[in-house]
A = this chain, B = another copy of it.
Amino acid sequence: MTGTKASTGYFFEDFALDQEIVHATPRTLTVGDTALYTALYGSRFALQSSDAFARKCGLVQAPVDDLLAFHIVFGKTVPDISLNAVANLGYAEGRFLDPVWPGDTLSATSRVIGLKENSSGKTGVVYVRTEGVNQRGQTVLSYVRWVMVRKRDAGAPAPEPSVPELAPAVAAADLVPPKGLRFSDFDRQLSGSPHFWADYEPGERIDHVDGMTVEVAEHQLSTRVYQNTARVHFNQHAEGEGRFGRRLIYGGHVISLARALSFNGLGNACVISAVNGGVHANPLFAGETVYAWSEVLEKSEIDGRDDVGALRLRLVATKDQPCANFPYKEESGKYNPSVILDLDIWALIPR
Q: Interface with B: A121-129, A259-267, A273-281, which one? A: A259-267
Whether A264 contacts B6 in the complex (CB less than 8 A), given A192-B79, A212-B235, A237-B211, comes out as: yes
CB distance from A171 to the nearest CB of B (A): 25
- The answer to whether A42 and B217 have CB atoms under 8 Å apart is no
- The answer to whether A25 and B50 have CB atoms under 8 Å apart is yes
What copy number does this chain have within its complex? 3
Residues 16-46 of chain A, each 1 if its beta carbon lies under 8 Å from chain B, else 0: 0000001011111011111110111110111
Q: Interface with B: A110-118, A159-167, A178-186, A224-232, which one? A: A224-232
Which range holds the interface residue count of chain A? 35 or more
- The answer to whether B41 and A103 have CB atoms under 8 Å apart is no
CB distance from A57 to the nearest CB of B (A): 12
- Nearest to A325 among chain B residues (CB) is B2
Q: Is A195 an interface residue (CB 8 A)?
A: yes
- The answer to whether B225 and A210 have CB atoms under 8 Å apart is no
Residues 154-175 of chain A, each 1 if its beta carbon lies under 8 Å from chain B, else 0: 0000000000000000000000
- Nearest to A221 among chain B residues (CB) is B39
Note all chain B residues with C-beta closer than 8 A to A222. 39
Whether A26 contacts B38 in the complex (CB less than 8 A), given A32-B33, A235-B213, comes out as: no
By secondary structure, the A interface counts as: mixed
**A192 in complex: contacting residue of B24, B105, B247, CB < 8 Å:** B24
CB distance from A39 to the nearest CB of B (A): 4
Q: Interface with B: A88-96, A140-148, A201-209, A298-306, which one? A: A201-209
Note all chain B residues with C-beta closer than 8 A to A38. 224-225, 227
- Nearest to A296 among chain B residues (CB) is B3
Q: Is A332 an interface residue (CB 8 A)?
A: no
- The answer to whether B135 and A52 have CB atoms under 8 Å apart is yes
Note all chain B residues with C-beta closer than 8 A to A46. 24-26
| Complex Cα–Cα for A203 and B223 (A) | 34
Q: Is A153 an interface residue (CB 8 A)?
A: no
8 contacts between A and B (CB under 8 A): A6-B206, A24-B267, A25-B191, A28-B49, A36-B39, A49-B227, A213-B234, A218-B220
Other CB < 8 Å A-B pairs besides A6-B208, A42-B227, 7 of them? A3-B205, A7-B193, A25-B50, A26-B49, A42-B234, A210-B234, A213-B237
